[in-house]
Amino acid sequence: MESTLKDMRDGATVLDMDPKSTVGGGVEDVYGEDRATEDQILTPWTVSIASGYSLLRNPQHNKGLVFTERERDAHYLRGLLPPTIATQELQEKKLMNNIRQYQLPLQKYMAMMELQERNERLFYKLLVDNVEELLPVVYTPTVGEACQKYGSIFRRPQGLYISLKEKGMILDVLKNWPERNIQVIVVTDGERILGLGDLGCQGMGIPVGKLSLYTALGGVRPSACLPITIDVGTNNEQLLKDEFYIGLRQKRATGQEYAELLHEFMTAVKQNYGEKVLIQFEDFANHNAFELLAKYGTTHLVFNDDIQGTASVVLAGVVAALKLIGGSLDEHKFLFLGAGEAGTGIAELIAQEMSKQTKAPLEETRKKIWLVDSKGLIVSSRKDSLQHFKKPWAHEHEPVKDLLSAVKAIKPTVLIGSSGVGKTFTKEVVEAVASFNEKPLILALSNPTSQSECTAEEAYTWTKGRAIFASGSPFDPVEYDGKVYVPGQANNAYIFPGLGLGLVISGAIRVHDDMLLAASEALAGQVTEELFHKGLIYPPFSNIRKISAQIAANVAAKAYELGVATRLPRPANLVKYAESCMYSPIYRQYR
Ligand SMILES: NC(=O)C1=CN([C@@H]2O[C@H](COP(=O)(O)OP(=O)(O)OC[C@H]3O[C@@H](n4cnc5c(N)ncnc54)[C@H](OP(=O)(O)O)[C@@H]3O)[C@@H](O)[C@H]2O)C=CC1
Ligand SMILES: CC(=O)C(=O)O
Ligand SMILES: [Mg+2]
């Protein structure tokens, strides 16, 4: 009895009772309610079967007009619904018709969020069946605009908000979340939301969006997903002045105050959900991101999507592209614009893969990769003043101030944009790359679309149709000189849902770089001859659940190989097992 009480949600108000006492009211007074005297405070905790009106208002169980006659009788729904009985397919058709009528992407986003809050399975059915059409709505680019305007469009809260006000009680805050069996947390502190900068508390749109992809693309149950925003303030003056801003109105906490809050959070998560809960760090600024990953990588199941997921997806694209541009990985020369989380994360994984393939030391393979930051090319003379994550890339070279000069000096075969600054791949830059490559590989990774280093049309036009191009946010196919070019989408959304699924199904307790390579290899392996023929280096998102199962299987296999998997015995066929674990949005029958 005592231990049950100690486990209760409201630990501070638990009544201290003699465990052997038989006195007390109720059949099993686990919550101590019947023993409480009037001055004792307790949690009004109820567990009930949803029926009638509350069933219709419960997004997890609501089926709207699809409730059958029998279900309407059994669950007190008679009269609460009009007489017709619909199918989920008809509901889907109606909603897609409605969504397509909205002119503005933000209206579509709001319609999707409203659906998620009203009928969760229908939301996921739409997303799974129409992934290519709806990905840009619930994810980049529209989610970026949604975060910028989050305060104005805010209706119902989604996810969990942990601010400096909750310091000292984060464990209690986690217990306020209605679900107990959490498998994946995506957490942001809102400081680097896509390429849009510090959006403070309004960054919540990102964990919410990423986790809806965990379910739709990776098949992790929605109830096992928990979006979290940590609000330590914002340095965004515009938001601080915005009357509709939803976060703390103060400058960002830094240093010890920041570290303590994060540490309390990380400890509380492990205490509450155990060590097999995956914590995905998302859109933190790089001055915290690398440190958090290093600090918690050895004690928690953590993964930084911007550093590691992006690296895995770009490596897959590059490896696949070799079929089109020729040569082996180590025969190429890479130049990045942007040497932050994405840039250095990708660079490191490419160097690791090169080293693996050629047996050359990592220090050697890194020399094939060059990065430009806001101060110019990263070279050895700058080493002392560089942030630690840039130091491995400070090669011997004279200083070079700008990208165009760096392109001319380095002569890269692959140009990668990870700067968060739009329009930086100018005509001169792209033409210069095209002047010494028959088929230049150009990846403009920055999100959302407004921050893309160049557009698909620019890439194809300026290279006279020779570029192999992919971007972080989607672009429509481009017609150039009578031919249609289909750009790819190089986005970590290909990787994190499958990677997460693989970690969850194997019960992994740590993320290892080899798992990122395994995920990358699985993705690259999904590009068919037919796709190569169209100049594509990524498979279509319409196949993503199949792709995620392959990624999950490869990641899980690596987890078993490395001895960090706890789900034993290892399933014989990991692809089949991954598929069998995936959430389906089809309605369930009710008793
Ligand atoms: N497609 C995808 O899947 C992903 C895309 N991204 C996108 O990548 C972008 C960068 O993200 P992230 O790496 O996390 O950000 P960071 O802030 O960590 O890094 C940005 C880097 O770009 C450099 N930079 C900024 N402005 C310029 C400029 N005008 N010229 C040259 N360099 C510049 C910065 O230089 P300095 O260090 O000198 O300040 C820094 O090195 C974002 O737009 C994000 O949306 C991120 C993750 C995944
Ligand atoms: C895609 C992504 O994670 C980003 O742009 O930050
Ligand atoms: Mg991100």
Taking alpha carbons only, the member of 58, 162, 28 closest to residue 119 is 58
Type of residue numbered 39: D
pLDDT of 38 > 90? The answer is: no
The residue from 490, 515, 547 where one domain ends is 490
Indicate whether 298 and 318 sit together in one domain.
Answer: no
pLDDT of 44 > 90? The answer is: no
DSSP three-state, residue 275 = coil
Indicate whether 202 and 223 sit together in one domain.
Answer: yes
Whole-angstrom Cα distance, residue 31 to residue 44? 9
Residue length of the chain:
591
Whole-angstrom Cα distance, residue 235 to residue 241? 11
Indicate whether 70 and 148 sit together in one domain.
Answer: no
pLDDT tens digits, 232-272: 999 999 999 999 999 999 999 999 999 999 999 999 999 99
Q: Kind of pairing, strands 483-485 and 478-480?
A: antiparallel
DSSP three-state, residue 457 = helix
Whether the predicted model's global pTM rises above the 0.90 cut: yes
Indicate whether 188 and 267 sit together in one domain.
Answer: yes
Q: Kind of pairing, strands 441-444 and 488-489?
A: unpaired
Whole-angstrom Cα distance, residue 40 to residue 180? 26
The residue from 250, 274, 304 where one domain ends is 304
pLDDT of 7 > 70? The answer is: no
Helices vs. strands in the chain: H and E counts, helices first: 25, 14
Q: Does residue 276 sit within a domain?
A: yes
210 classed as catalytic: yes
Q: Does residue 1 sit within a domain?
A: no
C-alpha torsion sign, points 308, 314, 315, 317:
positive
Atom of ligand 2 nearest to the CA of 309: 3
The residue from 304, 338, 370 where one domain ends is 304
Which CATH number goes with the domain that contains 107? 1.20.1370.30
Q: How confident is the model over 167-195, as a mean pLDDT?
A: 97
Indicate whether 358 and 394 sit together in one domain.
Answer: yes
DSSP three-state, residue 378 = coil
**Measured CA angle at 128 (ends 126, 129), to 5 deg:** 65
Q: Does residue 181 sit within a domain?
A: yes
Atom of ligand 2 nearest to the CA of 445: 5
Domain limits at 535?
A: 493-566
Q: Does residue 503 sit within a domain?
A: yes
Which CATH number goes with the domain that contains 154? 3.40.50.10380
Indicate whether 91 and 235 sit together in one domain.
Answer: no
C-alpha torsion sign, points 342, 345, 348, 350:
negative
Can you give the pLDDT at residue 51? 86
Indicate whether 274 and 192 sit together in one domain.
Answer: yes
Which CATH number goes with the domain that contains 348? 3.40.50.720
> Which amino acid residue places its CA nearest to atom 19 of ligand 1?
340
Indicate whether 256 and 328 sit together in one domain.
Answer: no
Tokens, residue 351: 């160097």
Q: Is residue 522 within 8 Å of residue 498, measured between CB atoms? A: yes
Indicate whether 353 and 456 sit together in one domain.
Answer: yes
Domain count, the chain: 4
Confidence of residue 16 (pLDDT cuts 50, 70, 90): very low
Give yes or no for residue 448 CB within 6 A of ligand 1.
no
- How far is ligand 1, taken at its centre, from the CA of residue 446, in Å? 7
Can you give the pLDDT at residue 33? 53
Give yes or no for residue 288 CB within 6 A of ligand 1.
no
Q: How confident is the model over 120-125, as a mean pLDDT?
A: 98
Q: Does residue 58 sit within a domain?
A: yes
Can you give the pLDDT at residue 48? 73
Q: Does residue 590 sit within a domain?
A: no
Indicate whether 280 and 351 sit together in one domain.
Answer: no
Q: Does residue 431 sit within a domain?
A: yes
Indicate whether 523 and 431 sit together in one domain.
Answer: no
Catalytic residue among 139, 214, 494, 560: 139
Indicate whether 300 and 322 sit together in one domain.
Answer: no
Whole-angstrom Cα distance, residue 402 to residue 380? 16
Residue with tokens 């003043």: 385
For residues 429, 434, 439, 442, the Cα torsion angle rounded to the nearest 10 degrees is 0
What percent of the chain has a predicted confidence (pLDDT) above 90? 91
